[in-house]
């Protein structure tokens, strides 16, 4: 009898150990699944903020498509992990349609940022976008050619919003009759383009800025030292009209930047 009792006890112990091991494995798997779901949701929200945070037309078609593909991937994984949640399928369909529409649409005219708040927000978003591109590259989800092309486009956007910020300050200075201060900001914009190591890509834009600066310098030279004041508003407005035309030409030339094509 004692042998049978011992055998039963051993069997029970084995079953208990098996149950505990299985329970631990199930709990570990459940926790890992939950961490993955949380990470995917956070990643999806981050990509969504990037895709919607920029003004429409600010990002190139390539960069916008990259974000949509990331959103589609997150939505697809979430739909497999949480099949009972219909919002994942809805998001998948939404971003798939947006990506398809993006491919059928040519690049829009590049949007210029015209206020400091927009510029500050865009700078932060571009930093996050750059991190995302580098993460995709590290995971070998995009190749080196694609990585270089995306980084180049992001760098051009960073440069452009820097120039946009200087131009905004220059125009504000002109509106209050501060011609020399406007020249200073336009000069900063010119230096930002001139120091960019991109061959001769910005020669025409720099020439346009040179023209704006020259016209304002003529006005500043004709103004007695210390005479600049808010009372100059009307003359400044005339100068502003002239420089605005020059800057419009600058924008038109700048919109002709050739973008690198991305082939998946």
pLDDT tens, position by position, 125-157: 888 889 889 988 998 888 999 999 999 989 888
Three-state helix/strand/coil letters over 162-177? HHHHHHHHHHHHHHCC
Give the residue-averaged pLDDT of 171-190.
Answer: 89
- pLDDT given for residue 151 in this prediction: 92
Q: Is 31 helix (H, G, I), strand (E, B) or coil?
A: helix
Six-digit token pair at 49?
A: 């903020």
- Look at residue 56 and tell me whether its pLDDT is greater than 70: yes
Angle at 42 between CA 160 and CA 111, to 5 degrees: 20
H or E stretch at 208:
helix 203-221
Number of neighbouring beta carbons within 10 Å of residue 241: 10
DSSP-assigned letters across all residues of 94-161: HHHHHHHHHHTSPPPPPPPP-SHHHHHHHHHHHHHHHHHHHHHHHTTSS-HHHHHHHHHHHHHHHHHH
Q: How confident is the model at residue 187 (pLDDT cuts 50, 70, 90)?
A: very high
Check residues 235 and 79 and name the one with the higher pLDDT. Answer: 79
Six-digit token pair at 50?
A: 């990037």
- pLDDT given for residue 145 in this prediction: 92
- pLDDT given for residue 219 in this prediction: 86
Q: What is the mean pLDDT of the chain?
A: 78
- Look at residue 257 and tell me whether its pLDDT is greater than 50: no
- pLDDT given for residue 200 in this prediction: 55
Q: How confident is the model at residue 243 (pLDDT cuts 50, 70, 90)?
A: very low
pLDDT per residue as tens digits for the range 97-112: 988 887 666 556 667 7
Evaluated on CA atoms 21, 26, 30, 36, the torsion sign reads positive
- pLDDT given for residue 94 in this prediction: 93
pLDDT per residue as tens digits for the range 5-34: 777 777 777 777 777 777 777 878 888 888
The whole-angstrom separation of Cα 244 and Cα 246 is: 5
pLDDT per residue as tens digits for the range 192-239: 888 865 555 778 878 888 988 998 888 888 876 555 545 444 444 444
The whole-angstrom separation of Cα 260 and Cα 63 is: 11
- pLDDT given for residue 25 in this prediction: 79
- pLDDT given for residue 250 in this prediction: 46
Whether the model clears a pTM of 0.75, i.e. scores above it, the answer is no
User: Which of 47-61, 71-85, 248-262 has the lowest average pLDDT?
Assistant: 248-262
Say how far residue 141 (Cα) sits from the centre of its chain.
19
CA atoms within 13 A on the CB side of 200: 2
Contact 249, 209 (CB under 8 A): no
- Look at residue 258 and tell me whether its pLDDT is greater than 90: no
- pLDDT given for residue 86 in this prediction: 92
- Look at residue 84 and tell me whether its pLDDT is greater than 80: yes
């Amino acid at each position: 009898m004692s042998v049978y009792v011992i055998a039963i006890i051993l069997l029970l112990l084995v079953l208990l150990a098996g149950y505990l091991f299985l329970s631990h494995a199930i709990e570990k798997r459940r926790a890992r699944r939950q961490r993955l779901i949380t990470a995917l949701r956070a990643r999806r929200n981050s990509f969504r903020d990037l895709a919607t945070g920029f003004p429409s037309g600010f990002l190139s078609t390539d960069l916008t498509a990259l974000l949509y593909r990331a959103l589609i991937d997150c939505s697809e994984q979430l739909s497999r992990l949480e099949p009972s949640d219909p919002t994942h399928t809805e998001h998948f369909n939404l971003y798939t349609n947006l990506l398809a529409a993006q491919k059928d649409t040519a690049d829009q005219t590049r949007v210029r940022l015209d206020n400091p708040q927009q510029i500050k927000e865009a700078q932060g978003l571009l930093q996050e976008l750059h991190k995302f591109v580098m993460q995709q590259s590290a995971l070998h989800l995009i190749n080196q050619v694609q990585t270089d092309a995306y980084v180049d486009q992001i760098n051009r956007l960073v440069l452009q919003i820097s120039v946009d910020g200087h131009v905004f300050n220059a125009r504000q200075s002109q509106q209050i009759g501060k011609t020399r201060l406007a020249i200073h900001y336009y000069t900063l914009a010119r230096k930002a383009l001139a120091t960019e190591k991109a061959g001769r890509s910005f020669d025409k834009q720099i020439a346009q800025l040179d023209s704006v600066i020259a016209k304002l310098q003529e006005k500043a030279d004709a103004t007695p030292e210390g005479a600049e004041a808010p009372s100059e508003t009307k003359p400044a407005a005339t100068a502003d009209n002239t420089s605005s035309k020059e800057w419009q030409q600058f924008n038109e030339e700048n919109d002709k930047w050739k973008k690198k094509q991305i082939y998946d």
